[in-house]
Chains A and B, each alone.
Chain A
Amino acid sequence: MSELLQIKLTLTTVLAPIVSFVLIFLFFLRQHAIARWVSLLGITTSAACSTMLLWSVDSPAHHETVSLPWLLPGDINFSIGLLLDPLSLVMLWIVALIGTLVQMYSFSYMEDDANQAKFFAFISLFCFAMMGFTIAPNLFQSYVFWELVGLGSYLLIGFWNHLPSAATAARKAFIVTRLGDLGFFAAILVAFAGLGSVDYAGMAAGKNSLWTASLGGLDVATWTSIGLFLAVAGKSAQFPLYGWLPDAMEGPTPVSALIHAATMVAAGVYLLARNSFLLTVGSESCVIAWEGIAAIAMLTALMSGAVAIVQNDIKRVFAYSTISQLGYMVVGIGTGAVVAGMMHLFTHAFFKALLFLSAGAFIHAAHSNSIQDIARAGGSRLKVPMYSLLAGSFALAGLFPFAGFYSKDAILEHLLVEHHYIFLAAALVGVLVTSYYTFRVIFVMISEKGDGHDHHLHTGAWMVPPLVLLMIGALFSGNIWNFAVKHWFSIKHVEHGNAALITALVSSGVALIGIYYSWRVFYKKSSADPMEKMKGLANVLREKWYLDWSYDKLVHAIYLPFTWLLNRIELRFVKGALDGIGTACMNVARGFSRLQSGEVQQYFGLMLAATAVVILLITRL
């Protein structure tokens, strides 16, 4: 495939959704039927083009950057362009594909919504932003699209903005991720100050001496890494900024599947993978920083996995599970296993989107988010969603032959081979917890038969094809990666004896234990719920490790008094001074306005007097 054709295809992929967005907003805000098709057509174009692009990747070293000068303040050059390499093309394909499936699904899910044209417009906007982020060849362009992605997320979480909880959740998501974005901005500044360039290619080729130049105690590479991780912690919901993601479940379920499971939250992982060259250019402190990143991610994975156990809202279970799986990806990338981390991102996009979409099918049918309510309404009799829930759960728990098995084991194997034994142990605990809470949902669901008479549950017609396709994805995406995608990355696969086999056996065993225990507790009910025994722990988990609570306290203790003080200062001093100036002007003007009596003769008298004065002055001089 020629270069020009590739560039054209990429531009079509990225720009098709924004065209749908503009069309819907200008012409079809009232015509829902047209709007949804315009939107689907746009994203399908993207999916087709990105598939062709993926097809064109033939060599591992395939790498292409197109840059045009954009902002030229002084001698600084910010460029805008496209970066086409296996990493970005794979990501582009995931976004376009999941986006297509989710939009198709939304045909059914949003069928009764009065504002669905706006929904499809926003989701197109989001897809545009996400794909623009994916192909950005420099940090600066990434940052622009990163913020746009945040905007799309905000608009869609708060889509049902008549619900106060949705509006609050949208605000929270925006503000919390914004905190992380400060880190992104700092990282850009540091990298620019140190390297004089924010192009990924230029940064990766930067001299080691530039990267290790000291800057306020640590070196440039370390500061950049820390800044970028802050951004990742915001967008990809890592400790301590993950609190917004569970609340983001207030948005429509297709949004949760697309944005808060498959794509946007993976953007942070993608950003880390893009910048993983920092591990090789920096000094020791940078390596330690990346170890710290991995440690925080591991902590995130365990903490959120534990919270998922006590959640009764089906979407929140999967939201905490998403945080936990994102933790795994960051652990992989933080310890240097970029390909394994990206592989988990790849498979996770499929099976987590599948889980959310099947959850959405239950919610759509039973009109409740609670697992128990769905079970009571007879959710387990919904055939297709039930199968997809099963497939997704097997993939999430990492059981053979589902996709999660390959990707999770790739990370575990790397941890074993690289002697990160603490991480490995923690990750195995995580696997146990994951399989336990995942199958808790299923066992609660099938332990209730439901009364089965009053409810006419059905799955929307447009929901079935995406679910089936994603089920295939949950089954085979691991194999697809192993057979095709992996070879595009220029990393030689080294056999490490039996490491692969050992991790596969151990992790499957652990996962099976988790499932068995879950079965005993929630289906057979032969052993008591461990949460009943450990009341203290259960409370902590229900309070989400008191993280939201402490943020609340922090805001109340520091931020609100501070704003109160500022408010006082503004009211008393700033506003007082401005009001004083205004009042003075008013009074002077009022005095002069007395002269404007409206009586012609008075004016005439004044005029005469003035003339007399002028004549006097002239004759005196």
Chain B
Amino acid sequence: MTAGLMAYMLISVTMFGLGIYGLMERRNLVGLLISVELMLNAAGINFMAFNYYLMPDKVDGQIMTIFVIGLAAAEATLFLAIVFAVFRYYRSINVEKVDHLRG
């Protein structure tokens, strides 16, 4: 395994970890969205890095990354729509307030 790949892996693991941390700790719905984006992009970096270092003559990883970016765009649209709806109903975008489904 080359040193370059290792560096990319470290970056993506860090981004993914930050994403998870943000998802657990942020109370703001938009913060959550940003955390999710971080995680998705971490995965994208992984795809690109593996593609570049392990099988440079193939493009599968690149296609996957473009697919992930497209998915992230769609997801962000939906998520923002939900955030608007939540805000209209609760007058807040704090996730702790959104607990109507409490058992």
Contacts and interface: CB of A to CB of B under 8 A. Distances in A.
Contacts of A604: 23-24
A587 interface: no
Contact of B103 (A593, A605, A608): A593
B102 A596 contact: yes
Interface string A321-351: 0000000000000000000000000000000
Contacts of A593: 103
B99 A599 contact: yes
B9 interface: no
Interface in A563-602: 592-601
B103 A595 contact: yes
Interface string B79-99: 000000000000000011011
A608 B21 CA distance: 11
B103 A599 contact: no
Contacts of B58: none
Interface residues of B, number: 12
Contacts of A597: 99, 102-103
A592 B20 CA distance: 26
Contacts of A601: 23-24, 95
Nearest to B99: A598
Contacts of B24: 601, 604-605
Interface string B21-44: 001100000001000000000000
B101 interface: yes
Interface residues of A, number: 13
A608 B20 contact: yes
Contacts of A592: 103
A593 B103 CA distance: 5
Interface in B9-23: 20, 23
Nearest to B103: A596
Contacts of B95: 599-601
Nearest to B102: A598
Contacts of A600: 32, 95, 98
B20 to A, nearest CB: 7
Nearest to B100: A598
A597 B96 CA distance: 10
Contacts of A594: 103
Contacts of B98: 598, 600
A-B CB proximity, top 9 nearest: A596-B103, A598-B99, A593-B103, A598-B102, A598-B101, A600-B95, A599-B99, A601-B24, A604-B23
Interface of A: 592-601, 604-605, 608
Given A598-B101, A601-B23, 16 more contacts: A595-B103, A596-B103, A597-B99, A597-B102, A598-B99, A598-B102, A598-B103, A599-B95, A599-B99, A600-B32, A600-B95, A600-B98, A604-B23, A604-B24, A605-B24, A608-B20
25 contacts: A592-B103, A594-B103, A595-B103, A596-B102, A596-B103, A597-B99, A597-B102, A597-B103, A598-B98, A598-B99, A598-B100, A598-B101, A598-B103, A599-B95, A599-B96, A599-B99, A600-B32, A600-B95, A600-B98, A601-B23, A601-B24, A601-B95, A604-B23, A605-B24, A608-B20
